[in-house]
Copies of this chain bind each other. A is one copy, B any other.
Amino acid sequence: MQSVVRELSKKKTIGLVPTMGFLHDGHVSLIQKALKHSDIVITTIFVNPAQFAPNEDLDRYPRDEKGDIEKIKSAGGKIVFIPKASDIYPDNYQTYVEVGDLSQTLEGASRPSHFKGVTTIVAKLFNITRPDVVVFGLKDYQQAMVLKKMTHDLNYPIKFIIAPTVREKDGLAMSSRNKYFSPKQRPESLALYFALKTAKEMVKSDIKDTSQIKKEMKAVIQATCPTAQIDYIAFTDFNSLDPVKKIVKNTICSLAVRIHAVRLIDNMKLL
């Protein structure tokens, strides 16, 4: 990969779309976005063990290498990089990249070593593929902000693009983990989207108090999925991730909810 890139970069600009595979239309949109900002796009597929805690779903994370390659091709992606875990983390591996404060809240509070794994693999992929442009999805909002910070702090000469969340027709944010739901459970997965839409409507009606909005969101979630377990519902400034009490411009609401043991995340800009 590195020698391919060394030659390639003399004549073309490179776009990078890092993924964990099992691609859906959200990923396709990232590849298309990258193609608009670079000559050739490298899509990487790597289910990164370093970002999963021991109790998480690393082993059952869905995989479909053949289908992925077809989707990448049809999106216009020309290069796929699918490394082995033992090549990425060989014996005696011991180097990690960490972003401080931004990694500590929200997802970072629920999944303590998660972002350390994410920033490390992405730094490695940056060094392997040397992109001019990288594209991440807004669906993983905090991930995008942490990685943008890492890219900037470490002086990577890479344009960082965050692409909008792609949703199913009914509003569910696309995610490889949606596959875990049985047809019977699937409607209940809309709890997050319904709650976010409710928040957005409330803000439109000039209700700006986050505790009032949060209470209503909780009710919507319980009504949609009575067994839902809410991990967090947070209102933060889009860029700094600082908590917001009263909705102001650039406030984003993000949440994590367990629906039938599947941990989903979603977010929506409220103003």
**A residues adjacent to B (C-beta < 8 A):** 2, 6, 10, 93-102, 119, 123-124, 127-128, 130, 149-150, 153-157
A238, chain B: closest CB distance, angstroms: 15
Given contacts A2-B157, A6-B157, A10-B10, contact A97 B94 (CB under 8 A): no
Report B-chain residues with C-beta under 8 Å of the C-beta of A128: 155, 157
- A102 and B97 contact, CB distance less than 8 A: no
Q: Tell me the bound Cα distance from A93 to B155 in angstroms.
A: 11
Q: Tell me the bound Cα distance from A7 to B269 in angstroms.
A: 40
Interface hub of A94, A101, A102, A150 (most chain B Cβ within 10 A): A94
Q: Tell me the bound Cα distance from A2 to B99 in angstroms.
A: 23
Q: Tell me the bound Cα distance from A149 to B93 in angstroms.
A: 9
7 A-B pairs with the lowest CB-CB distances in the bound complex, closest first? A95-B153, A94-B100, A127-B155, A2-B157, A124-B155, A95-B99, A128-B155
What are 11 A-B residue pairs whose CB atoms fall within 8 Å in the complex?
A: A94-B153, A95-B98, A95-B100, A95-B149, A95-B153, A96-B97, A96-B98, A96-B100, A98-B98, A123-B154, A127-B155
